[in-house]
Amino acid sequence: MWGYYPDHPEKNDRYEHRIGAAQEISGLDVGKKLKVGRNEWEVVGSFSAGGGSAESEIWTDASVLQGAYHRGNSFQAVYAKLNSAAAFSQFKDSLTSDPRLNVKVLRQSDYFSEQSTLLTTLVTTLGVLIAGLMAVGAIFGALNTMYNSVSARTREIATLRALGFGSGAVIISVMLESLVLALLGGIVGAAIAYFAFNGFRTGTVNWQTFSQVTFAFAVTPKLLIQGIIWATVIGLAGGLFPAIRAARLPIAAALREL
């Protein structure tokens, strides 16, 4: 939908950011007509919902929609705003105990969670799988980097060992180097993810309800911190074996290497 300021009409001409369904589906501009089945619907207005799920919807008057599709006086879903969250139990009991009604009463959050279970599971599974594969690749990349670093500093490490530094000090120095590199990489990656994807809007099909859903990515501070932590863990894992190899280098043989 196009963003709309009902309380400040003077802002509407300047608000040109397309959001929600209007961004993903062509033909939803105000004044155009959208054909659904045998019916044509003219887009006469627009709204925004602060990035909420309503931006994935196209609204019309209920009585008009019922008449167009011969639905009588039936409703698939009805939203009710209660005076407080504590009133939900009483409201639910009053409806479910009425023999004239056959309804399922849910909080809005539970309703959307139930409607998006399949989509959430699919996205989460694919996300974990892709992230796992990328993590394995990152570990091998860290191993390769640190092995090359150790090979390039063989004489330096051997000199330190000859001066009296023990294997533990060598391992710690290599691990710290790997940790610093991973931490810097994690910070850079987090910054790129935030500026490139935070607020980025897209859409997909909800295969559970067979409806188009638009949504925006939210790169939160919690996710950024988790990403940086995982980067440091990968860096430590990638630096462990090169550190052990550096500590086990024979001093005499290493000093003879060019």
DSSP 134-185: HHHHHHHHHHHHHHHHHHHTHHHHHHHHHTT--HHHHHHHHHHHHHHHHHHH
Question: What tens digit of pLDDT does each residue of 200-226 get?
Answer: 777 676 666 656 666 678 889 999 999
Position 184 pLDDT exceeds 70 = yes
Position 186 pLDDT exceeds 70 = yes
Question: Confidence class of residue 51 from pLDDT cuts 50, 70 and 90?
Answer: low
More confident residue, 86 or 29: 86
Region 99-108 average pLDDT: 87
Question: Residue type for 187, please?
Answer: I
What is the reported pTM? 0.59
**Confidence at residue 252, expressed as pLDDT on a 0 to 100 scale:** 67
* Token pair of 130 as six digits: 């892709």
**Confidence at residue 209, expressed as pLDDT on a 0 to 100 scale:** 61
- Torsion angle in degrees (nearest 10) through CA of 157, 159, 165, 170: 0
Task: Give the lowest-confidence range in 27-41, 178-192, 208-222.
Answer: 208-222
* Token pair of 203 as six digits: 């859409």
Task: Give the lowest-confidence range in 131-140, 141-150, 198-207, 233-242.
Answer: 198-207
Q: Are 66 and 76 in contact (CB under 8 A)?
A: no
Sign, CA torsion 65/71/76/79: positive
**Confidence at residue 14, expressed as pLDDT on a 0 to 100 scale:** 34
* Token pair of 99 as six digits: 């023999």
The Cα–Cα gap between 186 and 194 comes to: 12
Position 258 pLDDT exceeds 50 = no
Q: Are 3 and 19 in contact (CB under 8 A)?
A: yes
Chain centre distance of CA 185: 20
More confident residue, 210 or 102: 102
Picking from 129, 138, 117, 96, the residue whose alpha carbon sits closest to that of residue 206 is 117
Question: Confidence class of residue 9 from pLDDT cuts 50, 70 and 90?
Answer: very low
